[in-house]
Chain A
Amino acid sequence: MFKYLLLKEFQLIGRAKNGLLSLISLLMAFLFIFHYSLENSGKLDVNSIVGLKWAGIFLLAFILISQVTYEERESGAYRITRLYIPSHLEFLAKSFVLFFLLFLVEIFLLLLLFLFFENLHFALENLLGQFLYFIPGTLSLSFLGVTLSQMSFATRLKEVVLPILLIPLSIPVLIAGMEAERKYFSKGEVSTSSLIVLFAFSILYLSLGLLLREVGED
Chain B
Amino acid sequence: MNTSILSCKNLSYTIGYKKIFKNISFEIFASDFTLLTGENGSGKTSLLKLILQSSRKKEFSWDENLLADKERNLISYLGHENGLYSSLSLRENLTFFNRILKHPMPESRINTLLDLFHLTKRLEDPVSTFSEGMKKKSGIIRALLVRPALLLLDEPLNGLDIESTQAFLKVLNTEFADTSILLVAHEIDKISPFVKRRFHIYKGELNHV
Contacts and interface: CB of A to CB of B under 8 A. Distances in A.
Interface string A52-96: 000000000000000000011011110111011100000000000
A76 B139 CA distance: 11
Nearest to A15: B87
B85 A8 contact: yes
A45 interface: no
A151 B1 CA distance: 43
Contacts of A214: 56
Interface in A14-73: 15-16, 71-72
A75 B83 contact: yes
A84 B73 CA distance: 8
B87 to A, nearest CB: 4
B85 A79 contact: no
Contact of A4 (B83, B96, B126): B96
Contacts of B80: 76
B100 A16 contact: no
Contact of B84 (A7, A75, A217): A75
B81 A11 contact: no
A125 interface: no
Contacts of B75: 83
Interface residues of B, number: 29
B87 A4 contact: no
A80 B102 CA distance: 14
Contacts, number: 71
Given A76-B81, A214-B56, A71 B73 contact: no
Contacts of B33: none
Contacts of A72: 85
Given A79-B79, A80-B77, A12 B49 contact: no
**Chain A residues touching B, majority SS:** helix
Contacts of A4: 96, 99-100
Contacts of A8: 85, 88, 92, 96
Interface residues of A, number: 24
A141 B87 CA distance: 25
A1 B97 CA distance: 11
B7 interface: no
A212 B73 CA distance: 25
Given A12-B88, A15-B126, A218-B49, A75 B82 contact: yes
B86 interface: yes
B83 A80 contact: yes
Given A15-B126, A77-B85, A79-B77, 17 more contacts: A4-B100, A8-B85, A12-B85, A12-B88, A71-B85, A75-B84, A76-B79, A77-B81, A79-B79, A80-B97, A83-B73, A84-B73, A84-B100, A85-B100, A214-B56, A217-B53, A218-B49
Interface of B: 49, 52-53, 56, 73, 75-77, 79-88, 92-93, 96-97, 99-102, 126-127, 142
14 contacts: A11-B88, A11-B92, A12-B88, A74-B86, A75-B86, A76-B82, A77-B83, A80-B97, A81-B100, A83-B75, A83-B76, A84-B73, A84-B97, A218-B53
